[in-house]
Amino acid sequence: MPPLIFLLRFELSDLSLFTSKLSYLLPPICCFRFKIVVSDPYFIPVPVSCRVVSTRARAGADVVSPSDMMDGRIGAIRAALDADGFQHVSIMSYTAKYQMNPANCREALVETREDETEGADILLVKPGLPYLDIIRLLRDNSPLPIAAYQASGEYSMIKAGGQFKMIDEERVMMETLMCLRRAGADVVFSHFALQAARCLCGEELKCM
């Protein structure tokens, strides 16, 4: 991962680089300081995650994004980045996602307060469309930027509907992205990013 970040930083110097899924840096089983670490998508020991984010920051990442929602991890990562001289590197916290009880929206507010206190710079909600109310809840209760992650399942449903001619794929794609923004998302992450960008450029060209 760090060599790729370094390459992207060199080639795309005018763009911000976000990195996520800290566990993806590790193989399923690896050795770290003479200890065996099992890489789980939802758990990495805090000292390991601090090393991971510092490595990514050193390679050129502008934003790191731990996804496991473990209490205390954001604070530990913020302290590690600051100690290594990366005060300018931001942390995007997975504040509300499917690990929570989907029926308990108040839990999202609890997580929001904890992440704010620990030093998060951006609050992420995942998935996007099923959690539009949570996006609005966070937008109304936090001064931090809110990000929405249109997950792969949302992308796949729209793609499948378009492939089987059940929906107008491009129109539904753009409307769902607009819904995320309307709900209060300042940033939207989507597998449709490139397709949506081309669509927007096409619309601008037509207007011209």
Query: Known catalytic residues?
Result: 97, 126
What is the C-alpha to C-alpha distance for residues 54 and 91, in angstroms, rounded to an integer? Answer: 12
Question: What are the φ and ψ backbone dihedral angles of 84, each rounded to 5 degrees?
Answer: -90, 5
> Pick from 88, 141, 148, 90: which is nearest to 119 by CA?
90
Residues, the chain: 208
Q: List Cβ neighbours of 197 (8 Å cut-off, separation of 6 or more).
A: none
Q: Which two tokens stand for residue 185?
A: 């998302």
What is the C-alpha to C-alpha distance for residues 4 and 7, in angstroms, rounded to an integer? Answer: 5
